[in-house]
Each structure stands twice: as C-alpha cells, then as structure tokens.
Amino acid sequence: MRVLWLCNIMLPVYARAKDISFSVREGWLSGCLERLKKADDNKITLAICFPKESEIVQNKEEIEGITFYGFDEDLTHPENYDESLEGRFRDILEDFKPDIVHIFGTEFPHTLAILKVMDYPKKALVGIQGLCCEIEKDYMAQIPEKVQNSATFRDWLKKDSLLDQVEKYKLRADHERKAILLTGNITGRTAFDRSVTSGINPNASYFAMNETMRPCFYDGKWDEKNVEPHSIFLSQGDYPLKGFHFVLQAMPKILEKYPDAHLYVAGNNIIGKGKSKYPYFLRASAYGKYIKSLISEGKLKNKVTMVGLLSDLEMKERYLKSSLFICPSILENSPNSVGEAMLLGVPVVASMAGGIPSLISSGKDGILFERGNVDELAGAILQVWDEPVISSVYGENAAKKARVTHDPDANYKRLLEIYDEISGK
C-alpha cells in the first residue's frame, strides 16, 4: 500500500539526516513514524511531504526507505491561500501515485490545496489536530477588552495584533471548512472533534484513532520524592488561548497557602529576552505586555520562570521535576502535553475545554476545572497539594490509562485497519 503523508512541519528524521534544525512541535508524528518504521510486515510504502524550512531541503529525496517531498509555503501567513500549491501537489501525486493520502491537520491551506487536486478525495484521510473554526470563537480567552483592542509597535509592524490574529483564524477556518467538506474520511480521538467535524461534513467517515507519543515519554515515572515542592509546569503560554493569564491570576490565592509555589513555563518567551537580538520594547506583543502587567500586579516576578523551548528529553525532565502539570487552555482538542504528563504519572490539573474531558476523568486520573474559572483553577491546584496521597493515586491511574490510549502497537494496528478500509473504497 502506497501512503503519502502531508505534514505541517519537517519531521526530525529528515532534519537529523540533513543535519539541520527542526521544530519540536507535533512530536506525536515522530512517535507514529518510529512505530511504523519498526514494522516488519512491509505493508506500507511511505512518502512524506512537508513545507520547506531550509534551502537545504530538496524537492524529492529518499532517506531510510522513505520518499520525502518538499513544497514552498508561506508559513508565517497561513491565512493566505496560495494556488501555486495545487500545481506542486499535482506533480507529487503523479510522481508517487499514492493509494491513500493521509493529511495531518487542517490548520494550513496546503490541506485544502491537495484535496482540490485529488481525483478521488474518498482516498484522503484528514487527521484533526486543532480546529480553527473553534479557535477563532475563543481566541481572546476572556482577556480584558482593553487588551484585546491594544496593539504594540511589534503588532503594528507585523500587522499581527490580537484582533488581526482573530481575523486570520477566521480565514483559516474558512479554508478548513472547505477541506473538511472535500474529504471522504476523518480521523480524530475526542467527542469534541467528532461533533465539530460531523457538523461540517456528516457524509465523511469518522475513524477514532489515538496518538502515539514520542518514545522517551514511555520510560520513567513521576515520584513525589524527586520533585521541586509546589512547582507548577505549564508547557506553553505565548498566546491567549493557552490560558497563561488564568494561572497568573490564580497565583496570589495559591501563594497565600503555599508561599514557596513556583510556576515554570515552556515555549516561546513573550516576557523576556529569549533568543531575539531585538530589545523587548520592539518585539513585545500586546498579550506579552498584559502577561507582564499581571506578574507585576501580583508581585510574581520571583515566582515565574520562563524555561524556553525544550527538546523532548528536556520536557520529560521538567515534567518529572514538577509537583503538578497544568493545562489551563480555554480550548484544546487533545493536547500532547496532557498525554505526555499522564504517561509519566504526573498529577494533572486541566480545564474542561474541548476534547480534554475525553482524556481525563476528573477525580480519577486528574482534576478538571471549569475553563476560565480562576477560583476553580486555584482550588484544583491546592487540592493536589492538600491531598498528596490521593493526587499520587490520580497520577498512577493516569499512567495506566495513558499507556492504553497511547499504546504504539495498538495505534499502529488501528492505523493499518483504517488504511485498509479506505483503500477498499
């Protein structure tokens, strides 16, 4: 069976072979690929196409038995549809002649472009990651209207204010809806993504399939004796949807009871120097300035540490050092960070947003709180620390559940089942 994957990013397996830098986003793709490479049944002949992020990337190469295709796309403006993509995808489809095209994500216009040029879209499988049509509704995540309407020099220069970002998501959502209407098959893993996609295209076949995480998260176990007491880990916080501001608003209440509490935040640093050569006042976003104001008002300067972009092993180390992991997003489908934390047995506090309730049973393998409710968020964190024995049991339950949900062998078997069913159409 000849399968073509269309991805949003260059996969590490390619980047390492070419000795170039790569993104740590969408790590579950690498997990899926690693399991597929281990298969000895030779059922799949695989090709992967992805947006070029380096001049080193060629139009077509073969590495480790996989054919790689690069294509040019302006990833900085994913709201713009580029018709030239259609010609490139015609060439790739003609060259590889896939039996199935598996598209990972709907967030970029390349998904719509390849579906538009496919002769038989019923052979296309669209995997749902985030959903732009839902993100644009909740993007502002209850931040004050004054902040929503503000714009810094950086925002003005890049035409990327918070209001601009919402408008861009509306355009992306339009491309997404068109793509979902074109495909014959959808794969997802939560009640949330199934409800949203079936509402757009009730005629598409929906296949439930869980994700495989990066290999390092299947080894290791959280142990309270090895953590920094009362430390909180947030995996990302560079735009409103991720809910960084909710955690900062909850911190004063948390610190009243646990004065040694400390928040660690991974990802792009929106409040400090980071790796940029430009001074902060030139690159500060409106949301970044709002975050800084919350830190100042709450006297949290010494209670928040931005740890920057982390590799998979660095992320694992941070999870295992933390007394709890938090996902305070106003909207998510099935965040990888939650899956990674659960695999390691880290106590998890998360919002009841989007697909998260499909991952966590509150009071059994984690604690859920009403999204955007700062008092409930603070209460959930305090509950973890007030009841360490119970929280440890939640972590153990989470690890057992996650090892079923993210089982590489089971997920690979399910992937083959889906491919077989689609190829028979």
- pLDDT, tens digit (0-9, with 9 covering 90-100), for 317-342: 999 999 999 999 999 999 999 999 99
pLDDT of residue 345: 98
Nearest to 73 by CA among 175, 204, 162, 150: 175
Q: Do 162 and 123 share a structural domain?
A: yes
Nearest to 261 by CA among 300, 294, 309: 300
Distance CA(15)–CA(51), nearest Å, equals: 13
pLDDT of residue 64: 86
Letter for the amino acid at 126?
V
Q: Do 202 and 224 share a structural domain?
A: no
Structure tokens that stand for 112 in this block = 């719509």
Q: How confident is the model at residue 214 (pLDDT cuts 50, 70, 90)?
A: confident
Q: Do 121 and 8 share a structural domain?
A: yes
Q: Do 245 and 141 share a structural domain?
A: no
The packing angle between helices 162-182 and 110-117, to 10°, is: 20
Q: Do 174 and 70 share a structural domain?
A: yes
Pairing status of strand 2-6 against strand 60-63: unpaired
Please, what sign has the CA dihedral across residues 200, 203, 208, 210? negative
Q: Do 412 and 394 share a structural domain?
A: no
185 forms bridges with which residues in the sheet? 125, 205
Q: Do 304 and 171 share a structural domain?
A: no
pLDDT tens digits, residue range 85-123?
999 999 999 999 999 999 999 999 999 999 999 988 889
Residues 91/111, Cβ–Cβ less than 8 Å: no
Q: Do 233 and 175 share a structural domain?
A: no
Residues 6+ apart with CB under 8 A from 155: 161, 162, 164, 285, 286
User: Domain holding 304: CATH number?
Assistant: 3.40.50.2000
Q: Do 336 and 234 share a structural domain?
A: yes
Letter for the amino acid at 107?
E
Distance CA(214)–CA(27), nearest Å, equals: 6
pLDDT of residue 324: 97
pLDDT of residue 424: 80
Q: How confident is the model at residue 23 (pLDDT cuts 50, 70, 90)?
A: low
Q: What angle do CA 336, 17, 218 make, to 5 degrees?
A: 30
Nearest to 125 by CA among 198, 187, 36, 46: 187
pLDDT tens digits, residue range 382-411?
999 999 999 999 999 999 999 999 998 899
What's the N-to-C CA distance of the chain in angstroms?
Answer: 14
pTM, to two decimals? 0.91
pLDDT of residue 43: 82
* DSSP code of residue 48: E
Q: Do 223 and 196 share a structural domain?
A: no
Range of the domain at 393: 216-405
Q: Do 26 and 130 share a structural domain?
A: yes
pLDDT of residue 118: 94
Average confidence score pLDDT of the chain: 92
* Count of structural domains within the chain: 2
Q: Do 203 and 220 share a structural domain?
A: no
Among 66-75, 345-354, 370-379, the range scoring the smallest mean pLDDT is 66-75
Cα separation values, 380 from 96, 361, 385, Å: 51, 14, 9
Residues 293/287, Cβ–Cβ less than 8 Å: no
